[in-house]
Structure 1
Amino acid sequence: MIPFLMSKPGKPIPEAEQLERYNRLRWHALFGIFIGYVAYYILRNNFLLSSPELISEFGFTKKDIGFISGTMLVIYGLSKGVMSALADKSNPKHFMIFGLMMSAAVNLMMGFSASFWAFLFLCILNGIFQGMGAGPAYVVLASWFPRKSRGVTTAIFNISHNVGGGLVAPIAGASIAWLGTERWQAAHFIAPVVIATIVAVLVYVLGKGRTYNEGLPPTSKILGTEQEELIVTKDENVNLTTWGIFRDYIVKDINVWFVSFIDVFTYMIRFGVLTWLPLYLLETKGFSKGQMAAAFAIFEWAAIPSTLLAGWLTDTYFKGCRMPLSIITLIGVGASMFAYWGGHDLLTVTIGAGIIGCLIYVPMFLSSLQAIELVPSFAAGSATGSRLAQLCFRKLFWHGIIWDLSRSLWLGCWFLPLVIRSLWLYLLLLYDSLRCVTFRKEKASTSRK
């Protein structure tokens, strides 16, 4: 690991000043990972938004766009697993900044590229560097915030990808209006690079690493909350390799794997709706492009208030128990899927899509939160990276979906296999959430490490 990324101890803070310094710096830490991950999303989603110009100006086909974006997602999944584990042994602030600037450099090159193979290579590189964003963010959350308030703070961070995804189109639109349509590459790729560079500077100046990097002891020692944590971190600077942390705290812990499977199934349902929503509403339901765009926006933005509310509820009323609320929201997702599938008018289908978007992000966010609470804070990145298993499941799932889609188009009822498969995933997800409640109780009763 290069010296800039390595985790180094900060200058020790006198005990009398630790609480005051902690209360001030923890919000710097949250602010840094929030704006940092917003910038990651801006540099990730801009490629798909440039698809019409790539097709009309450079002769790309829809198949080319699908192959490039699909390849980038697979590489991103692999990178996220590996990079999140490496984040455990790094300074998370520096790790996030490095990945962001490398992704910005790749996007800058996209602004001057015109061939399919150049874009494919650059998108693969972008997928690798994009995987450096999530791991350090969860390391910071696990390090700075106690379990009793981690629901709200993780919820605040989690909406960063909704904010980042929602800013891509306005940034591109404003840039095209300013630069002109003939400079569409600069609008789609170079303008986001400028914004990401400014964000990287802000993260470096205002953001923070883990408490260890700032000269503070673990949060549980500062606040005296050892008895409230599922796992107590005695020292964040452990003498273990990346593989040693992954082996001892992830591979051998069945609780972490159950939570990871929840994340797998929720992602499948989310992308099952998100990926096919435009085509389904336009071609099967007969919606206009404006109506489809409204339903699509509602699906994405409805997650922001529901995520914040879910974080507050699990902290306040569920006392840190994350899975019961996941089960409640999954029941709502199941009911909404029938409304989304069976509705024929604009209002019913839009409400169904909105409720799915509102609720499906809740178990996604809570499973990520539960994963980092099942391990010491120095293994939070590896717990996030354990979701590498998603890649295998998603690849198999979507390979089957593509086959179902091509076969069903010939039969004239293409959406039915998607619904049946989503319902099956929904049942698996509900079962897995129930198992997590049981294993969480067992985890709480074990000796603290």
Structure 2
Amino acid sequence: MIGWLKPAAFAAPLPLAEVDPTFRRLRRRVFAGIFIGYAGYYLVRNNLALAIPDILREHPEYNKAALGSALTGLSIAYGLSKFLMGSVSDRSNPRYFMPLGLLLSSTIMAAFGLVPELYGSLLAIAAIQVLNGWVQGMGWPPCGKTMVHWFSTRERGLTVSVWNTAHNIGGALVASLAFVGVLLFHDWHAKFYFNAFIAAAVALGVYFLLQDTPQSRGLPPVEQYRNDYPPGYSDADERTLGFREILFGCVLRNRYLWAIAAANAFCYFVRYGVENWIPTYLETAKGFSFKESSIGWSLYEWAAIPGTIACGWISDKWFRGKRAPATMLFMALTLAAVVVYWLNGKGPLWIDYASLIAIGFLIYGPIMIIGLHSLDLVPKKAAGTAAGFTGFFGYVFGSAISGTGVGWIADHWGWGGVFTTMVGCCVLTICFSALTLGHQAESERRVLAAPP
């Protein structure tokens, strides 16, 4: 590992009286860091989807399938990076690792908006998206690592569900800020560079908020602090694992991880099949303006915030730590909302808005639950790799295919073919999630030894 990225050394233990107030204060700080930081990553991820109508007007020789291929390149690079960077993140200090990726992504998107040659050919557009997808993979793994080190099993469902809404705040702000940037600069390229400048400022703030492990600040492991231990927990669980030990010992032999990874692929197809094509569908198929499609995009993202938290709460309270039933329930309801969005056709805009609100409310819960489930299934020192593994399937086999696939299906079979495919993906997500019904997140309390 590069010297300045390696995990921080354990510090001398703090006096007992300082442990609780210090733990509480630093937990708030690191949670703010991963929340704001991950929202910042979204400001510079899917900007191309917002600009596809502009690029098609400026370059009529392009088509939706070709530009969709650039989105596919981003998704494949992101999926591969999320998996590989997960193993790097598990052996790195998130305080440096996370803002580094965000600064790199901001630089790439700023250049894309400011240098006309970078969108003057399809090859250049695809190359930039692939490069951005790779550095975007540095965002999720340090967040997962931070959560399993600072929050214990019993509180993780609510913690992860609240943190997961950073996806939606960032996803909603990307359209809103792009709209503001276009108004300020009278330039559609501001959809890239205006967001990039804001994301770079966020990266600097994240550096000052994040910490590595509790032990690096003289605190005990979170399991000891919360008296909330996974089954079989011992001091060996605090040892940093090697790459082969994580990959072959913890990830690839876990059949539940394979099942939720497959479910993630189909779930991501629906998520990005709707999200990335909101502007194109509403503007080209229904004749709405960029402002109206931007409102639809934002409604989709903002609706996900209460939906994600509700899904996490239902998983913990209704299903007592079983993750699969919550995924299956929310995907069945997502299917119904997708059908309404489809059948509205040339109908009024408010029905499209209502459908997007419903889909946004419902689809992000399963996305969050699958990520949470991956953390439950492995030791905490393998958390980034496990999340990267399910993310790899989600982006390479789900989001990537929705990029090229939705564009290709729309060009050949129209939007009816697109929605039929999404309905099928909802059904398959439910089926693969059902394979994990036998797993339940568990923890135990231990009797503490009396002080001498």
- The normalised TM-score by structure 1 is 0.85
Which of 347, 366, 371 matches 1:368? 371
CA deviations 1:38-82 (Å, max 9, x no partner) are 111112233444456656668883456434333222212211111
Deviation at 1:342, TM superposition (A): 2.9
Residue 326 in structure 1 maps to residue 332 in structure 2: no
Contact 1:148 1:319 in 2 (8 A): no
Corresponding position of 2:101: 99
Unpaired runs of 5+ residues, structure 1, are 409-413
Q: Which amino acid aligns with 2:141?
A: G
Residue range with higher mean Cα deviation, 69-78 or 370-379: 69-78
Aligned pairs (5 A) from 1:245-284:
245-281=246-282
Q: Which amino acid aligns with 1:427?
A: V
Corresponding position of 2:448: none
Distance (whole Å) between structure 2 residues aligned to residue 42 and residue 62 of structure 1: 25
**Percent identity at matched positions?**
29
Which of 211, 214, 217 matches 1:211? 214
Contact 1:220 1:233 in 2 (8 A): no
CA deviations 1:349-406 (Å, max 9, x no partner) are 5433322221111111111111101111111101111121334523567666555444
Residue 122 in structure 1 maps to residue 124 in structure 2: no
- Which protein, 1 or 2, shows the higher relative CO under an 8 Å CA cutoff with sep ≥ 6? 2
Contact 1:100 1:133 in 2 (8 A): yes
Secondary structure of 1:11's partner? coil
Corresponding position of 2:92: 90
Contact 1:77 1:391 in 2 (8 A): yes
Corresponding position of 2:415: 415
Q: CA RMSD in A?
A: 3.0
Q: Quickly say closer, same or farther: Cα 1:231–1:400, change in 2 above 3 A.
A: farther
Distance (whole Å) between structure 1 residues aligned to residue 115 and residue 418 of structure 2: 36
Corresponding position of 1:195: 198
Distance (whole Å) between structure 2 residues aligned to residue 206 and residue 60 of structure 1: 46
Distance (whole Å) between structure 2 residues aligned to residue 84 and residue 32 of structure 1: 18
Secondary structure of 1:44's partner? coil
Distance (whole Å) between structure 2 residues aligned to residue 322 and residue 280 of structure 1: 33
Q: Which amino acid aligns with 2:100?
A: F
Corresponding position of 2:150: 144
Corresponding position of 2:223: 220
Distance (whole Å) between structure 2 residues aligned to residue 15 and residue 257 of structure 1: 44
Q: Quickly say closer, same or farther: Cα 1:363–1:231, change in 2 above 3 A.
A: farther
Distance (whole Å) between structure 2 residues aligned to residue 283 and residue 59 of structure 1: 14
Q: Which amino acid aligns with 1:382?
A: T
Q: Quickly say closer, same or farther: Cα 1:261–1:15, change in 2 above 3 A.
A: farther
Corresponding position of 2:34: 33
Corresponding position of 2:75: 73
Contact 1:262 1:432 in 2 (8 A): yes
Corresponding position of 2:171: 165
Aligned pairs (5 A) from 1:373-388:
373-387=376-390, 388=392
Deviation at 1:263, TM superposition (A): 1.5
Residue 339 in structure 1 maps to residue 352 in structure 2: no
Q: Which amino acid aligns with 1:181?
A: H
Distance (whole Å) between structure 1 residues aligned to residue 133 and residue 278 of structure 2: 24
Deviation at 1:432, TM superposition (A): 1.9
Q: Quickly say closer, same or farther: Cα 1:55–1:273, change in 2 above 3 A.
A: closer
Unpaired runs of 5+ residues, structure 2, are 444-452
Contact 1:149 1:315 in 2 (8 A): no
Corresponding position of 2:242: 241
Deviation at 1:161, TM superposition (A): 1.8
The size of the alignment, in residue pairs, is 432
Contact 1:212 1:237 in 2 (8 A): no
Contact 1:58 1:114 in 2 (8 A): no
CA deviations 1:231-282 (Å, max 9, x no partner) are 7464454253123211111111112222222221211122233344455556
CA deviations 1:91-137 (Å, max 9, x no partner) are 12211011112222323433442223555433332221111001111
Secondary structure of 1:300's partner? helix
Q: Quickly say closer, same or farther: Cα 1:31–1:444, change in 2 above 3 A.
A: closer
Q: Quickly say closer, same or farther: Cα 1:329–1:68, change in 2 above 3 A.
A: closer
Which of 183, 186, 189 matches 1:181? 186
Distance (whole Å) between structure 1 residues aligned to residue 307 and residue 127 of structure 2: 38
